Structure 1
Amino acid sequence: MIKTSALGWVNRMQRLQGLLRKEFLQIVRDPSSIAIAFVMPMVLLLLFGYGVSLNARNVPVALVIDQPSGVAADFAGSFRQSEYLSVVQLPNMHVGKRALRAHRVDAVIHLRSQFAREVQAGRSAPIQVLLNGVDANTARIIRGYIEGSLSRWLQQRAERQGQQAARPVMLASRIWFNANVRSRNYLVPGLIAVIMTLIGAMLTALVVAREWERGTMEALMVTPVTIGEVLLGKLLPYFLLGMGGMATSVAMALWLFDVPLRGSVWVLFAVSAVFMLAALGMGLLISVSSRSQFVAGQAAIVSTFLPAFLLSGFIFDIHSMTGPIRLLTYLVPARYFVSFLQTGFLAGDVWPVIFVDVSALAIMAAILLGITLRRSRKRLD
Structure 2
Amino acid sequence: MTTLRAPHKLPDWLPYAGGHNTGIHGLRGLASAMVLFAHIIGGTAEHVYADNAAYLAVSEPLWNFGTFFVYLFFAISGFVILPSAFRYEPRDFATRRMLRIYPLFLVFSLIFIAGNAVTNLQPKLNDLPTILYALSFTNLLAGTEQLTPNAWSLTYEMMFYFLAGLGAFAITQRLRGLQLIMALASVAFLVLFPKSIYFVAGILVFVLYGRRFVEKLPARALLEVITALSLGYAASRAHFDFRAGELREPITLICMALTFLYFLFAVEKDSVTARLLSARWAQYLGTISYSLYLVHPYIYMPMRLVFQKLGLFSDNVWASVLLFGVVTFIVAIATSHVSYLLFEKLPVTLFRNWRSRDKALQKDLSI
Indicate the TM-score class for this superposition, using the shorter chain for normalisation: under 0.3
Which of the two has higher C-alpha Rg?
A: 1
Identify which of structures 1 and 2 has the higher relative contact order when contacts are C-alpha pairs closer than 8 Å and 6+ apart. 2
Q: Normalising by structure 2, what TM-score?
A: 0.25
Query: Hey, which of these two has a bigger chunk of helix by percent?
Result: 2
Give the strand-richer structure, 1 or 2: 1
